[in-house]
Structure 1
Amino acid sequence: MDMSFPPDTNLLNHRLRLPNGNVLRNRLAKSSMSETLATYDNHPTRKLVDLYRRWAASGIGLMFTGNVMIDRRALGEPGNVVIEDQADLPILRQWAEAATSQGAALWVQLNHPGKQSPKGLNAGNLSASAIPFREDMSAYFETPREATAGEILDIIQRFGRSAAICKQAGFSGVQIHGAHGYLVSQFLSPHHNHRTDEWGGSPEKRRRFLMAVYAEIRKQVGPDFPVGIKLNSADFQRGGFTEEESMATIVELADAGIDLIEISGGTYEAPAMNGSLQQPQKTSTVAREAYFLEFAEKVRAKVTVPLMVTGGFRTAEGMNAALRSGALDLVGVARLLAIDPDAPAALLRGRDSTQRVRPITTGIKPVDRMGLMEVLWYTRQLKRIAEGGNPRPNESGLMAFLKSLLNTGWGTYRTKRMRA
């Protein structure tokens, strides 16, 4: 394929200075994907080091880790990394250095799953309120109990402590996962948060948990360590988190000094992050590629904090057009890097990857409605890369689901045995 435009006009190659003075070497970022490459007692492994070394070698500017949990009692999946003390500092340092030694920034995505954890994995799940999943998902996810005030304060402290350990290990920053239906998102959403105390009852009170998490992280890492957030533009559920509430949250975060905001959307119950709610797509959306670009334009009119948009980007030209619009500062890619780990090298030369992201389905309607394969199928590809092999872009969705189901069941059993 011929180069679509000269490298010197490729905006992806431009550096980005964050509000705290940190500089990213270019405008291309790897968004978070679940790796589940930890041990079943939640310690990071060499596979994570090797995976991120491979991606960093592609020339990408910024990478976010997959879900790193702040509490071993609250896992999102078997094989999650948990950072709650300094026990794993040696391997964490290797993980960070695998990227930073090659000039890439690597931020740890910190998360608490809340209710969004498969049945049987944890001793019990909590959330802002005891709101069940919709009926067709009840076989996979249990109804959580409402978190107590003491538990909320403990979780806030844990976010801060985990961030401080990440800084000590040499990571380039941290990102709060405030999207996709996990605990921070649950507190923000009136669909999930029915509290009437200081943590709910109004948009301002629903934001209080997030703002307390951010304040605690900032307190423990200081003003010069980058802190970002992944936030839903909306959660696309009736009675849920709206664009208006998202905008108000972004303005408050910007005023508080957040360094980077990644815009996404959806939850397991309404998975807009993989484009499944974008069908049929408007012609303008298809042409502009990014799912959440229109919302980013509205945000840009309100704040100057650097913005990252992830989801839908397909071509170098589409990425450059989005950057030229001024609506965003960083282009986020994720699934493409699971099927083509060297894609950034091509994109930074103005070329498109030879691979194309495709919908992954099983033919099992409840599974496909949840968008589960947008996690499970791609996780399998990441494992292949981490083991020194190559992804299989044409792997069957159904076959991947059945194998993942067996692995998840075995992982849940092993995780529970190790806690016993």
Structure 2
Amino acid sequence: MTQTSSPAAPTETGALNQPFTLRDGIVIKNRLAKGALSESLARRDHTPGTRIKTLYRRWSGNDLGLVITGNVMVDRRAIGEPGNVVVEDDRAFDDLVEWAQIIKADGATALAQINHPGRQAPRTLTPQPVAPSAVALPGMARMFAEPRELTHEEILDIIRRFALTAGVLVRAGFDGVQIHGAHGYLVSQFLSPLANLRTDEWGGTPEKRRRFVLEIARAIRAEIGSDAVLAIKLNSADFQRGGFSEDESLEVVRALAAEGIDLLEISGGTYSSAAMLGVDPSLKESTRRREAYFLDYAERVRAELPDLPLMLTGGFRSVESMEDAVASGAVDLVGLGRPLAVEPDVPGRLLDGSVTKSTVTPKRSGIKLIDNLTELTAYTVQMWRMADGREPAPRRHPAINVAQYLVRNGIDSVRVGRRGL
């Protein structure tokens, strides 16, 4: 599992255009990556269909070096959002093969993000969610039911499911997988001292809280072998008092690096404290001006683990900031999320110099719940437009996007819930 640096050292004016050798045999053609965006486009049976392929076909050819899919769930009994793809077996293998081929058609490296929502599953989809402990999601009682604590055997089953899902996706042609260990989903819940109150081998100390993610990484590596990519998306912190801290996050990163992960994507926050959306008031104005919300933490990781490939997502908009982050050596890859939902061609235009920045900015009203809802829905609705063969409509009033999202996903949520998925 050899990890090497870029074959050509980036310059201050051309850092983003340089290839990056992630590991022997896998070269990412440039430093721009699509971060995971939850598409909510699966068929009703949670298999990928025409619409999700149409969306990724629209993104194919935009010169991205790395493409990471949105949530692929490992258990159809635990759905994070309406329209999640679920991979538990080979039932949709041909669809997965085509999906991977579309992503890779222009030379991009393809990773599938795999996830379990834990307690962060809407009650309309999962009336009885599971979690490390029976601790409800703060401030979200109407949307998310109080979870049931997982048993030891159930934890082992979920670990097996992560590995099984990863194996199917790699056999279908994806270059590897990314474990979603951020944003308040199940892996993040196990890591959090606020969500994980266990006193057995899965909690009670930082070492025991991180056992879950380490066991998942080991099981996936055993399933996909040494030639496929094993990545993880991890919170720098969850930005909640008494929660998962930067210091503890760094300890988790050290342990994962020892397991041989190939790429760490740094993010932060949960849907209760949405630092990753740029709307959380805890983010300093100086951080917003730097664009990269979690760059300080990335620099800490780089200083301690200089050989671990790093991807940073959250806030990047200008070529200048992206180039600085890569050329300085702080990170290896720059992740773009929301800009791709509104400006699908922006990667190629940034790389060839025809534009110097994305025009996408966080939408704020000053009311936290409304800000989070607006951010989460606006970009999903734009992806739906592209999935239907239309172009994004960024000037639509945010209220229209919210209404469309709630009408559609409200109906879908009830129907899925009634089917017991």
Q: Is the structural similarity TM-score above 0.5?
A: yes
Aligned to 1:110: 114
1:368 Cα deviation (Å)?
Answer: 2.2
The reply on whether 1:30 has 2:30 as its aligned counterpart is no
Distance 2:403 2:143 in 1: 15
Change (3 A) 1:41 1:361: farther
What are the superposed Cα offsets for residues 79-98 of structure 1, whole Å, 9 maximum, x if unpaired? 10000000001111110000
SS state at 1:129 partner? coil
TM-score (structure 2 length as normaliser): 0.94
Which residue of 323, 343, 346 corresponds with 1:343?
A: 346
- The percent of aligned pairs where both chains have the same amino acid is 49
Structure 1: runs of 5+ lacking an equivalent: 1-6
CA contact (8 A) 1:362 1:397 kept: no
TM-score (structure 1 length as normaliser): 0.94
Distance 1:265 1:201 in 2: 23
Which residue of 143, 148, 164 corresponds with 2:151?
A: 148
Change (3 A) 1:279 1:147: closer
CA contact (8 A) 2:279 2:364 kept: no
Aligned to 2:3: none
1:41 Cα deviation (Å)?
Answer: 1.9
Which residue of 128, 145, 150 corresponds with 1:124?
A: 128
Distance 1:120 1:235 in 2: 25
The reply on whether 1:84 has 2:94 as its aligned counterpart is no
Aligned to 1:401: 402
CA contact (8 A) 1:362 1:398 kept: no
Aligned to 1:4: none
CA contact (8 A) 1:73 1:123 kept: no
Number of paired residues?
411
The reply on whether 1:192 has 2:195 as its aligned counterpart is yes
4+ long deviations beyond 6 Å = none
Distance 1:333 1:386 in 2: 19
SS state at 2:304 partner? coil
Which residue of 226, 239, 244 corresponds with 1:241?
A: 244
1:226 Cα deviation (Å)?
Answer: 0.2
CA contact (8 A) 2:119 2:131 kept: yes
Which residue of 283, 294, 297 corresponds with 1:295?
A: 297
Distance 2:152 2:69 in 1: 30
The reply on whether 1:334 has 2:309 as its aligned counterpart is no
Distance 1:372 1:257 in 2: 37
Aligned to 1:3: none
1:279 Cα deviation (Å)?
Answer: 5.7
Matched residue type, 1:218: R
Aligned to 1:162: 165
Aligned to 2:389: 388
What are the superposed Cα offsets for residues 315-365 of structure 1, whole Å, 9 maximum, x if unpaired? 1111001111111000001000000000011111134367522223578x4
1:114 Cα deviation (Å)?
Answer: 0.3
Distance 1:278 1:32 in 2: 23
Change (3 A) 1:385 1:187: same
Matched residue type, 1:264: S
Matched residue type, 2:187: V
Distance 2:12 2:317 in 1: 20
1:294 Cα deviation (Å)?
Answer: 0.6
Matches within 5 A, 1:33-48: 33-48=37-52
Distance 2:195 2:203 in 1: 10
Distance 1:10 1:366 in 2: 38
CA contact (8 A) 1:316 1:351 kept: no
CA contact (8 A) 1:34 1:375 kept: no
SS state at 2:23 partner? coil
Which residue of 211, 216, 219 corresponds with 2:214?
A: 211
CA contact (8 A) 1:376 1:404 kept: yes
Change (3 A) 1:277 1:51: same
Query: What do you get for the CA RMSD once the two structures are aligned?
Result: 1.9
Distance 2:14 2:290 in 1: 17
Matched residue type, 2:379: Y
What are the superposed Cα offsets for residues 261-285 of structure 1, whole Å, 9 maximum, x if unpaired? 00000001100001122566343x2
Distance 2:52 2:382 in 1: 13
The reply on whether 1:95 has 2:99 as its aligned counterpart is yes
The reply on whether 1:416 has 2:417 as its aligned counterpart is yes
Matched residue type, 1:308: M
Aligned to 2:363: 360
Distance 2:58 2:27 in 1: 21
Matched residue type, 1:270: S
